[in-house]
Every structure is written in C-alpha cells, then in structure tokens.
Amino acid sequence: MKRKYEIRERIVALGVAIGASVAVVGAASAPVETSRTRYLMGTTLEIRAAGTGQETALEAAFDRVAALEGKLSDWDPNAELARLNTLCATPDNAESWQPVSSELALRLAEARAWAERTDGAFDPTLGAIAVAEGLRPGLETTGPVVTGWEHYAVRLAEPAVRCGRAGLRFDLGGIGKGMALDAAAEELRRRGVENVLLDFGGQVLALGDGPGDEGWTVGVAAPEARDRAALGVRLLNESLAVSGNGERGMHLYDPARGTPTKGCAQSGVIAPSATAADVFATVLAVTGDPANLPELVDYLVQHSDADRAPHMSPGFAARAGAPAASGDTPTKKEKLEEKVERLGKELEVVAGELAKLRAGEDVEAKPDAKGPQGMAPAASKVYRKDRGVSIGGYGEFLYEDFSATKDDGSRSGKGAKSDFLRAVFYFGYKFNDKILFNSEIEFEHASTGKSGSASVEFAYIDFMLDPRANVRAGLVLVPVGLVNELHEPPTFLGARRPDVEGKIIPTTWRENGVGLWGDIGPFSYRTYVMNGMDSTGFGGSSGLRGGRQKGSKAKTEDLAFVVRVDYTGVPGFLAGGSYYSGDSGHDAVIGGEVLEGNVSIVEMHFDWKWRGIEARGLWANVDVDQAELISIQNDTLVGSEMDGWYLQAGYNVFTGTRFANQALIPFVRVEEFDTHKEVPSILAKSGEPAYDREVMTYGLVYRPIPQVAVKVDFQDFDDAAGTGLDQVNAAVGFYF
C-alpha cells in the first residue's frame, strides 16, 4: 500500500502525514509551459517548468522520487525501510549492524542529524506509536513501545544501521516529502532545469525567478476550505511546507512524551530547502510554538479554527503581502535573497554532520541519561566499534577560591588553588560481536611526584550473550548513584561533583567482581558479586570513602552483592534505584569479637532531559553494623547511619534559538548529607555537628559542543557547627 504520504495525512511528530486543512492549492501566476503530474508517495506530485521541451527532465525527476519511495516507505512491506523495521523487531538484530543501501544509510543519518538539531522535537523513530495506535494495518504491537532517535547509529563506509533497541521503528513521513523534493530538484538542476515549481500535496519547492522574475506565487488554503486559496505567498529559491489538523482531524504526537498533542489548526514554514521546511513544519505543528524554530525561519501559525487571524513572522507576512505581527517587513526581492542566504547558514550543523558521514565516519548513537550499559559517552565507544581498538578519554581542570572566614567568623586559612584534577584515557578492544575488553586509566592531580596518582578505574571483559543477559568480569564500577558510572565532566552540571556522591556514595567506586547486565523491555539492570569494602578505611567526615579497595590486592574474605534497575522507556528520562550489601571486616578480631561490619546502601535516583530542561535528584542511605567496633579499630567515631540527598535543575537558554547546537545552562543544586546521622550510642550521645552539612550551588555551564564544558559556580556551605566555608569554582572539562 502506498498510502504513507497521503496529502498531509501525517502523524506529524512521527513523520507520518495526516491530513492538513492547510494545503498549497496551486500557482497564482500565469501557467508555465511544461507541466507533468505523477502519483507518488500516496499523493500527487506536480512539476511545472518554464519553457518547452522539458519533458525528459521532468520524467527523470519523477523517477528519482519513485526510487526514493522504494527506500523510505514503511507502509510498503517490500520497501527497504519496512524490511529494516522488521529486522529490528528482535533483540539480536537490533543490537547488530544491519547492511543497508548507501541511499537509505544517508537518509537515516540525515534524519538523525535533524533530530539532534531540533533537540528531538522531530524524531524519525516514532513508528512504534503508529503501530500501537492501529495506524499500520496488518501490524500489531508485541512488546513495549520503543522510541528515541538517540538509540540508533548509522555508518556509510560499509553502509549499515544499528537500531540499538529491539522494537524501534523508523518512520520518515515528517521528512520524506522534503527529501524527495530536494532529490527531484537536484535531478532537474543536473539536467539544466532551474526555473521550476514542484507541488507535492501540501509542500512546494520553488526554484528560479518564476514566470515574472519576482519568484513563484502559490496559494495557501483556508483551514475550513481546502479548495480555496486564502493567502498568496511568493517564494524565491525556497520551500513552503504546510500542516495542521483542519477539518479531517490530526494525530499529532509529542516525541518527548510519546503521547498525543493537539498541535495547530494550521502552520506553515518557509526554509531554503524542502527537507528543512518539512522538518520545521513538523516541529511547529507539534509544539505550536515558533520559539522552537531557528530565529531566521519564516512561519505562519494558527492555533485553532476559532482564531481566524494567523500569526506570521515578518518575513512570511512580507511574502504574503500582509501586515506582520511585529517587526519590519522587507518586501524587495533583494531582501528575500539575503534572507535565503542567511537561512542557509542555519543549516551548517546538519551539513557538517552529513559531511562527516560522506567521509565515511559513523553517526553514532548519542547517549542521554546513560551510555550503553551504564557507561558514559566516551567510556562506551568500544561498544560502537565493529572490531579492533577503541581509544577515548576525558579530563578536567578545577580552580577553587575559598572564603577568608568560616560561617562562625573564624579565619579559614585556605587560599585559592588550581588543580588539573584528572587526565583519563579509555582503551578498549572488540574481539568480535560477542566479546570485548574495556578499561579506564586515570592520572590524578597532574603529577605522581606530589599528591597525584595513576590508577586503573575499571578493566573488564564483557561476554555479550543476549541483550537481556550478558556477563561482565573484572574491575567494575559499582552501579550505585548517578555520577559513579557517568562522571565525564560535560555530562554533569557543576564544577565539582555533588558532595552527596562523594561523602555518602564514595564516587569513584570500583571493585573486583563478576555479574550480569542487560535490558528487559524498558528496564536496564546490572548486578554483581564483588569483594567487600575494607572497614579499616572508614572515617567520620569522609564516611565510607577510605574503605574502597579499588581492585588493588583487595581483601576478599568478605563478599558483597549489588543490584541496580533503571527505567529507560522514555527518551531523555531515567529513574531507578540500587541496593548494595556486604561485610567489610574480613575476619578481623576487635576486643575478642569477630568483626563482620556489614555495610548496606539503599539509593534512588532520576535524571530528566527534555527540551532544554535538565533535572536530576538522588537519595542515599547507609547502614553500618558494628560501627562501635569499627570506631575502636580506626580510633575515630564512625557513623552507624549516613544519609544524604540532592535535587538539581537547570535550563538551556539556547534551546530553540539559532545557537541550539550549543548549550548555556544556569542551574541550582541543593544538597543535605550527614555522615553522623546515627553514631554508636555506647561511644557517643550524638554525632559531630560539623558532619551534618547543607550545600547550595548556583552555577552556569557553557557547552560550545557537547564534548566540552566550561563551568563556574558559587557554593554556600553550612553545617550544624557553624563552621561552613563557602567557595567559588571554575572548571573546564572535556571528553573524546
């Protein structure tokens, strides 16, 4: 069935057309000399070219679109994309590279670049929602609805696609017409046809000066009467895409939530390419908010049928000859040409991504709340390799300036200091599709000659048996908290890591162990058996931190068990918890009594990224048995209970602007933690007040690219003893 592109029959966010009451109804100018029509992609494509004798070129353009339909349709079971969707339904196929044609690889890479460019407001992977809603006859949902453009990866050197998650379905309806129009235009230009209008069931692409050397004039239908042009719009080497719910109704879906959204009665976008216009029309139709468009894209939006005065950008109003809602309204052809040139610069991010692709580089899955199996972006590079060596790394520089006085007025005695905290290198090797090695080597504080050190942070072998159950053995990161596994500096806000994830959860925490990891539906898990902690390192202020054995000649008389489960069914959202339990005494005898020293940790967390919002939170509680014996052993009062939490929120102010490929995030974080929440009553009546702490952090993070972050913040420290010491921090972090 070739109904996929039925005239604006679009599930807009999915990219599946659903009828719009806004439609291009034809050219208002004098008819051109050569005109041909063909039924393609479920609707009519009409091409009108100035001059005579253009029939052969027009037929070649139709053939180009027909060939593309055979690649991009997810309705036709014989189309290449539909076959790929079928393959990706099973876990083994979804996690493996599936060979595809170079054409399909390029188109899926381009769609992914646009998804990243629009921060997910356009998403080419929402096909599973269409199936779940009964909009794909003959297909049924057999598992959880899986979506998220971040999951899939593309390569061109040997064209292939990896879906990343079983059940992920591609749907290119929100970009397919635009791609087809641009491909047809490329074919026409190659054959010397440069003054032509292409009308493709709700979207037009105008090339050249038009019949009167002032551009092409097309009519936009009123929402209540699709056959009547309510507005004439003049185009010059650009494309107009229109969409909306109209009288036939729409099925619009918000990619961030996977739920229906009302969208607009009508919307239209003018952009320098048909692909760009198609994508941004999708974004506007779903969100209804022009703020989600690049600054220089022209638009029309009418939020409801009752609102008979659509809002237009100044540039759209100029083309339509109508008053603008605000701003200047240039009307000269030269102004239009200048704006087209400026708009073209807005697409440089996408063009750069495609240039990388054509050079043979992979377009990799972009981690959101987590990398593959709890690995951060650079740490997970080996998983995206076909074979052989993988190298990555990260680093961070920190400057700290402390207040001259503490909260109680006493002098702090601490001055400003700077430190190259970490230079870290990842080395991995993928033997085959089932076995890989991954490691992290860390150099701390710049020099081992002073207070610095060199350590192996993790080093393990993965046996990838099945996406649902795999084996990991070696020196592993303990899967507790958010930062312990995801600690590459650009992935967290703040110049310093949250104190809760240092004092209560002893980040970075790794031990020797073996266990299982995998994904089951929308849930991921990791569970290990590992050597227990060493109680001789426990302290009062630092809590468990000194008890980490770090894989070095670790005492293993006592073992520990840890399990973590996360829900990852919504793109950009993660929520879960972990539990750790294990003895730490290793058969030590204190005062004639065998020390077991069980340590148990319960922790819950969430991380949410949505349309510029970044929010996360964590709570952790620690119980230490026989804390009185451990206190005697270490000659310091060790808490029998420790507790802490934090909440953090920030917003990327560049979201929806021309700087959307960068990030500028003001944020605030509040933390409370106490390593002496409870102490052994036999030794003390109460804990040390200075260990009951609260921290307020106010900061700003700038990411010129996702891999680099510049951070500044102020931290207000308070404690129950009144000895809090405030500080200002600045940091630069990166990963590669």
pLDDT tens for 366-407 read: 433 334 567 888 898 888 777 899 999 999 999 999 999 999
- Residue 209, pLDDT score: 81
Please check the confidence at residue 302 and state whether its pLDDT lies above 80.
no
Per DSSP, the three-state class of 163 is coil
Written as six digits, the tokens of 122 are: 């356009």
Give the DSSP H/E element, type plus range, for residue 155.
Answer: strand 153-155
- Residue 321, pLDDT score: 67
Please check the confidence at residue 123 and state whether its pLDDT lies above 60.
yes
**How far is residue 81's CA from residue 179's CA, in Å, rounded to a whole number?**
15
Cβ atoms of 379 and 438 within 8 Å: the answer is: yes
Please check the confidence at residue 307 and state whether its pLDDT lies above 60.
no
Q: Is 216 exposed, middle or buried (0-12, 13-18, 19+ CB in 10 A)?
A: buried
- Residue 18, pLDDT score: 30
Residue 17's CB: how many other CB atoms inside 10 A?
29
Of 16-30, 302-316, 349-363, 683-697, the one with minimum mean pLDDT is: 16-30
Say which residue the tokens 């290449």 belong to.
Answer: 80
- Residue 362, pLDDT score: 47
- Residue 6, pLDDT score: 30
Per DSSP, the three-state class of 457 is strand
Cβ atoms of 582 and 558 within 8 Å: the answer is: yes
Please check the confidence at residue 561 and state whether its pLDDT lies above 90.
yes
- Residue 294, pLDDT score: 75
Of 96-110, 524-538, 722-736, the one with minimum mean pLDDT is: 96-110
Average pLDDT over residues 141-167: 82
Q: What percent of the chain has pLDDT over 90?
A: 48
Average pLDDT, the chain: 82
**How far is residue 219's CA from residue 28's CA, in Å, rounded to a whole number?**
6
Residues 6 or more apart in contact with residue 348 via CB below 8 angstroms:
none
Average pLDDT over residues 703-718: 95
Please check the confidence at residue 215 and state whether its pLDDT lies above 80.
no
Residues in the chain: 736
Domain 10-161+168-353 classification at class level? alpha beta
Q: Residues 473-496: pLDDT tens digits?
A: 999 999 999 999 999 999 999 999
Residue 333 or 525, more confident: 525
Written as six digits, the tokens of 219 are: 């009519």
- Residue 3, pLDDT score: 34
Please check the confidence at residue 327 and state whether its pLDDT lies above 60.
no
**How far is residue 490's CA from residue 587's CA, in Å, rounded to a whole number?**
42
Query: Domains of the chain: which residue ranges?
Result: 10-161+168-353, 376-735
- Residue 165, pLDDT score: 84
* DSSP β-bridge partners for residue 74: none
Q: Residues 66-118: pLDDT tens digits?
A: 999 999 988 888 899 999 998 888 888 888 888 999 899 999 999 998 888 88
Residues 6 or more apart in contact with residue 552 via CB below 8 angstroms:
none
- Residue 255, pLDDT score: 62
Of 39-48, 329-338, 699-708, the one with minimum mean pLDDT is: 329-338
Confidence at 556, pLDDT banded by 50, 70, 90: very high
- How far apart, in Å, are the Cα atoms of 120 and each of 13, 255, 258, 612, 692? 10, 7, 12, 11, 41
Written as six digits, the tokens of 608 are: 């949410």
Confidence at 578, pLDDT banded by 50, 70, 90: very high
% helix / strand / coil in the chain, to the nearest 5?
20, 40, 40
376-735 has which CATH code? 2.40.160.10
DSSP code string of 334-368: HHHHHHHHHHHHHTHHHHHHHHHHHTT--BPPPPS
Of 9-18, 440-449, 490-499, the one with minimum mean pLDDT is: 9-18
